[in-house]
Amino acid sequence: MFSLNEKCAVVGIFNVSNAAKYAYYSLFSLQHRGQEAAGIASSDGEKIYITKDRGLVTQVFDEKKLKKLIGDSAVGHTRYSTAGEDSVLDAQPIFARYDLGQIAVVHNGNLTNAKEVREKLIKEGAIFQTFMDTENLIHLIARSDKEHLYDRIIDSVKKIEGAYSMIFLSRKKMFAIRDPYGFRPLSMAKLEDGYVVASETCAFDLIGAEYIRDIKPGEMVVFEKDKEPRSIQVFEPNPHKCIFEYIYFARPDSDIFGKSVYDVRVKMGRELAKEYPVEADMVIPVPDSGIAAALGYSKESGIPFEMGIVRNHYVGRTFIEPTQEIRDLKVKMKLNPIKELIEGKRLVVIDDSIVRGTTSKKIVKILKDAGAKEVHMRISSPPTTGPCYYGVDTPTKDELIASSKTIQEIRDFIGANSLAYISIEGLIRSVGDDLSYCMGCFDGNYPVPNKN
C-alpha cells in the first residue's frame, strides 16, 4: 500500500534571508493545488529544520513556527487530499539524514513505477516511513554510490518513471528538476540576490519575485551560493505538458508553460461558442471553475454574461469528500442561484469539466428549481474518459461518467436541455499548437505506462 502525490504545489527559495517566510507566502498563493497538508523545510547552511502538518497553510504555520525555520533557503509543499492515507507522515517535505548529511524533498506528480521500485528497495532491506512514492527517491539517493549529491540525484531519477516536478534541499544547495515530459509545471524567478522556484507564477507575484523562465522538461537546475544557477539537461526533453492545468487546475492569474491561464480559458470559451452555439438569454459560469470560459463564450456569441450562481467560498472542493451522499449535499451548500435573474430565462451554463456528473446534475436541478426555462450545458474540456496517472486526482475509469455513457446519455443523466463539450481540436486551437500536451484523460494516449 502506498499513496501518490497527486496534484500538489512545490516551492523552493534560495539565498534569500527569511526564506521560510517567503516559502510560506508562496505556498499560500498555491493553496488551491492542495488543501490536505502543508510543510516547509529550511536550511541555515549547517542544519535542516522542518515543520509539516495536516491542514491549510495558514493553519499549519504561525509566526512562532516560522521563526524556528531559520536560514536562507527553504522548500515547501501543499498536499492534495486523497481518499487514502492522510496521516501527517504523508505530508511533505520528506526529510532524511544519510551518509552525505541531510536532505529534504518536495514533489508534485505521480511516479508510475513507484510500486516496483518500492518493492525492490524493501527486498534489499529498506525501511519506509511513509506511504508516499517520493520516499523512493530518498532511498535511491542514500543507496547511490556516487560521491556527490548532484550525481546521486541524477542516478536516482534515472530509476524512476512518471511525473515529477521536484525540489531537493541539502544544507548548502538546492536542486530543481522536472521529468522529461514536463507533465507538471515548474517555473523559476529572481528575488533579491536569490532565486525562487514554484509550481505556478502566481506565487512570484505575491512575494515580488521576477519570473525568469520555466525549468525545462528533463532539466535540473542547481542553486549554489555565490554562483549562477547551473543547468543540466539530464534527459532528452519529450514534452507532454498537462493540458488539464489550463482547463481547471492552475490559477487563472498564473502563466503556465509560458502562457496565461486566463487567456487560454477565455479562448476555450470562444471555441465552444463557435462549435456549439445555442439561442439563449444569458451565459452563466459555474463559479469559479467556469468563469473565464463563460466570458469567452459570451464575448464570442454576444449573449450577455451574468453571475447567475453564487458560490459559498467557505466550503472545500466537492471532490474532497469520499462518499456520494456528502458530495451531493456539498454541491447544495456551495452553489446557490440568483432566482430573480434566471427565472424564465434560457441559460448557457459553462463549466470546465464533468467528472462523475454529480455537480452538473445538481446545478441543472437547482437552476430549473429556480425557474430557468432552459439549461444548456457547455463544457470547456472534451469528455473525461480516462484517469490521470501523472498527478491530477481523477477517480477510476468506472466512476468517470464519459467512460461508459454517450453524450446523449450524459445529457439525460444531468437533465440539461442540451450538452456539448469542446472538441480536442478546439481545445488545441485554444492552447496553441506550439506546445506538446498530454491529453491522456481525454484521448487515452498515455505517454508513460502506469505500472502501479
User: Where on the chain is the footprint of ligand AMP (CB under 6 A)?
Assistant: 248, 286, 289, 317, 319, 351-360, 392-394
Report the 10 Å Cβ neighbour count for 190. 14
The label of the residue with cell 540576490 reads 193
Of the candidates 338, 336, 391, the residue with the CA atom closest to the CA atom of residue 134: 391
Q: Which residue lies nearer to ligand AMP by CB, 24 or 246?
A: 246
Please identify, using beta-carbon distances, which residue of 16 and 410 lies nearer to ligand AMP. 410
Nearer of residues 217 and 290 to ligand AMP, judged by Cβ: 290
- The Cα–Cα gap between 314 and 303 comes to 31
Using CA atoms, how far residue 246 sits from 68, 200, 253, in Å, is 37, 12, 11
Picking from 163, 123, 156, the residue whose alpha carbon sits closest to that of residue 139 is: 156
CA distance 231 to 222: 6
Q: Is 8 a catalytic residue?
A: yes
Residue 175 backbone phi and psi in degrees, to 5: -130, 125
Torsion sign (Cα): 34, 185, 379, 357: negative
CA 26, chain centre distance (Å) = 15
Residue 247 Cβ, how far from ligand AMP at the closest point, in Å?
8
Question: What CA–CA distance (Å, rounded) separates 26 from 16?
Answer: 13
Q: Which of 8, 202, 242, 388 is catalytic?
A: 8
Q: Give 145 or 314: the residue with its C-beta nearer to ligand AMP.
A: 314
- Cβ of residue 7: shortest distance to ligand AMP, in angstroms? 7
**Closest alpha carbon to 379 in 402, 346, 398, 396:** 402
Which residue, 164 or 319, is less far from ligand AMP as judged by CB?
319
Q: Residue 98 in contact with residue 142, Cβ under 8 Å? A: yes
Q: Which three cell numbers stand for residue 12?
A: 523552493
CA-to-CA separations, 431 to 206, 241, 264, 428, in angstroms, rounded: 25, 11, 6, 5
Side chain identity at residue 403, one-letter code: S
Query: In this structure, what C-alpha cell is assigned to residue 158?
Result: 534515472
Q: Which residues are catalytic?
A: 8
